[in-house]
Amino acid sequence: MKRSGAGPTVLIAGAGVAGLTTALALHRAGVPCLVAEAVSHFDPIGAGINILPHATARLHALGLESELAKRAVETRESVFFNRFGQLIFREPAGRHAGFPHAQYSIHRADLHDVLLTAVRERLGPDAVLTGHRLIRVTQRPGGVTAHFDGRGELDAEVLVGADGIHSAVRRQLFPDEGEPRYSGVTMWRGVSTWPSFLSGASMVRAGWLTTGKLVVYPVRDLPEQQLVNWVAELETPRGAHRDWTRRGELDDFLPAFADWRFDWLDVPAMLAAASQILLFPMVDQDPLPRWSHGRVTLLGDSAHPMVPRGSNGAGQAILDAAVLAECLAAQPGDPVAALEEYDRRRRPPTSEIVLLNRRTPPDAILREVYERTGDRPFRHIDDVVSQTYLAEIAARYRVATGQVRTA
């Protein structure tokens, strides 16, 4: 890599949301970088992603919000129901709740395309090397060498491991870490073309894990309909290996939702309308004692894989990228110190979110009602729990994850 800016040359392992956002943030800060990705071509895989306002603010600073708004649905509200379709709690989201930036719901493939297009336009068509699977990294005085499977080596001054939940960088730094921690819950994900429901921009959480929990929200507006993302969750014995592309079967979870027919959504019909279903065990890993090791650091899922509750996985990776760029630009002559500062600023808050997502994510609202009612319909929600108490649960999570309102 050749130096072309004020900061150290940075090699980013991984061209997912985390790696591409990091490249854009570094470029904006004047730090030269290159992205190396394991896959040889990008397929439109995955399902929906929610980008919370604090992450949208960082994408706005990178000049991406207008393009994001064209591809996404701006979320208006967050709504909670029990499995009988009874409303538990509703609150506005994003700008509708007084945040300076929107909350967006978007298909992962659309978000990835926005980021990849921007990287190639701003950094050049060769800024992302595909087919480069990182197997290990070695450090030497003044730099690092990345070793790739069948693709030789690349030298840089800093290496950022943004290579996801199966991170080769994390595995090298922590070879004795062990297997991920299974939460006891499996999720099935899909997208269905479906008529709009509720506000047409509602993020819905319903039911509870013991008998079946559903998260559903639109991610793309279509002529007369929407592309709707859904996540079905059930407590299950562990069985699946963690792989975002693993296929699932409708019959394995549909019975839990067979009678979920509400006046605003026919859940079993919507689930059956999906063109494909993905299966994923809800796992995370204990927070690490450190991310930065000399001139090597971790970022995104490789640094803090978390249970996917609270819509914070992609958002925290975006925040990581912004802070890393700030740190490297602030100390261009001392990348080791810059990575230590990045570690100091980002590791503690993301560690807390990993643990918070285990204990009290926003869907703890559903757990509260499930336990208080014994999984039975209620006459009125105020007879079960106050709206003030439910609002406090939601507010505590926002504060803990760094979401600050302006009003």
H helical segments located in 234-386: 267-272, 313-330, 335-359, 364-373
**DSSP-assigned letter for residue 293:** B
Question: Long-range contacts for 139-143 (Cβ within 8 Å, ≥24 apart)?
Answer: 139/293, 139/294, 139/295, 139/296, 143/295
Q: Which of 159, 211, 213 is nearest to 33 (CA)?
A: 159
DSSP string of 213-245, one letter each residue: EEEEEEEEE-SSSEEEEEEEEEE--S-PPP-TT
Residue type, 310: G
β-strand pairing of 158-161 with 296-298 = parallel
Give the separation between CA 43 and CA 121, rounded to whole angstroms: 20
CB atoms within 10 A of CB 145: 15
23's tokens: 């490249």
Kindly name the residue from 104, 182, 217, 370 that is annotated as catalytic. Answer: 217
Task: Classify burial at 399, counting beta carbons within 10 Å of its beta carbon; exposed 0-12, middle 13-18, buried 19 or more.
Answer: exposed
* 109 to 106, 152, 165: CA distances (angstroms): 8, 29, 18
Give the separation between CA 278 and CA 271, rounded to whole angstroms: 12
Residue 368: φ, ψ to 5°: -60, -45
DSSP string of 108-150, one letter each residue: HHHHHHHHHHHHHHHH-TTSEE-S--EEEEEEETTEEEEEETT
104 in active site: no
Give the separation between CA 69 and CA 71, rounded to whole angstroms: 5
Active site residues: 217
